[in-house]
Structure 1
Amino acid sequence: MSRLDSMLRRLTAQRDGLNWAAARIRDMDGDVVDLGLGNGRTYDHLREILPDRRIWVIDRVLQCHPSCVPPEQDFLQGEAEPMLEKLAASGARIALAHYDFGFGIKEKDVEEAARLSPLIARVMVPGGYIVSGQPLVGFEPIKGPDTIAPDRYLFYRA
């Protein structure tokens, strides 16, 4: 598979997975968190499909497209661990989390996801959904949309 086809497959899975999870939290209380802002595409999509939800964003740096800059009060800039601690201390309760942190080195990405999983669990509402590009630990793995290959994106319940 070409890198272009792989990227298209990943982005389609990401979109379909977020749409699927957003539909499942319609009657659930809680905010949303985008873990890894990047250039802001996912955050922008979350704003569109969940316009009435507060969307928290955590990332090391703010380097997204100017149209995708989150409100200052919703952007937690810094390393993931202290920012998740700060989110927990704020009292935020998360119904939907999108995990998109990564260094691009599979072993390092898997290790970081496992290390951050307990911190993510602290902010999730019971039964909340997590859409993730990396394997997480301590959550109930669930089947996502049929349009997504099982190895492309991962889905969990808190």
Structure 2
Amino acid sequence: MSRLDSMMRRLAAQRDGLEWGHAMVGDTAGDYVDMGLGNGRTYDHLREIAPDRRIWVIDRILQCHPSCVPPEKDFLQGEAEEMLIKLAGSGSKIVLAHYDFGFGEKEKDVAEAARLSPLIGACMAPGGVLISGQPLVGFEQVRGPETVAPDRYCFYKV
């Protein structure tokens, strides 16, 4: 598979996964979190499908498209571990989380996701959903949308 095809498949999985997660959450009260802002595409999509939700964003640096800058009060800038601890301590009830942190090295990315999993769990409300580009540990893995190959993206219930 070409890198272009792989990227298109990843972006479609993100979109379909976010929409699946949003439908799974339904009217359950709580906030969303996008871990790994990057260019801001997934954050922008979350804003579009969930305009009435508070969407927290975590990233080391703010370098997204100007149209995708989150409100300052919702942007937790810094290292993932510290920001997840801060989010858990905020009292917010996270019902949907999208995990997209990464270094671009598969082994390192998988290890980081496993290391951060307990901190992510501390932020999540019971019954919440996680959509992740990397395998997470300590959550119940479920089948996500039928449009996403099981090896492309991971889906979990808390």
Task: Say whether 1:77 aligns with 2:46.
Answer: no
> Residue 120 of structure 2: SS of its match in structure 1?
helix
Residue 60 of structure 1 corresponds to which residue in structure 2? 60
Structure 2 counterpart of 1:152, one-letter code: R
**Unaligned regions of 5+ residues in structure 2, if any?**
none
Q: How many residues were matched structurally? A: 158
Give the alignment of 1:13-52 within 5 angstroms: 13-52=13-52
Distance (Å, rounded) in 2 between the aligned partners of 1:76 and 1:49: 22
Give the alignment of 1:1-150 within 5 angstroms: 1-150=1-150
Distance (Å, rounded) in 1 between the aligned partners of 2:26 and 2:136: 24
Distance (Å, rounded) in 2 between the aligned partners of 1:60 and 1:80: 7
Structure 1 counterpart of 2:48, one-letter code: E
Report the CA distance between 1:26 and its aligned residue. 1.5
Report the CA distance between 1:118 and its aligned residue. 0.3
Distance (Å, rounded) in 2 between the aligned partners of 1:114 and 1:69: 28
Distance (Å, rounded) in 1 between the aligned partners of 2:150 and 2:23: 20
Identity among equivalent positions (%) equals 76
> Residue 156 of structure 1: SS of its match in structure 2?
strand
Distance (Å, rounded) in 2 between the aligned partners of 1:93 and 1:84: 13
Distance (Å, rounded) in 2 between the aligned partners of 1:113 and 1:42: 18
Report the CA distance between 1:92 and its aligned residue. 1.1
Deviations 1:112-144 (A, max 9, x none): 000100000011010100000000000000000
Distance (Å, rounded) in 1 between the aligned partners of 2:65 and 2:112: 26
Deviations 1:42-73 (A, max 9, x none): 00000000001000000000000000000000
**Segments ≥4 residues shifted beyond 6 Å:** none
- Normalised by the length of structure 2, the TM-score is 0.99
Report the CA distance between 1:74 and its aligned residue. 0.1
Report the CA distance between 1:13 and its aligned residue. 0.7
Deviations 1:29-54 (A, max 9, x none): 11000000000000000000000100
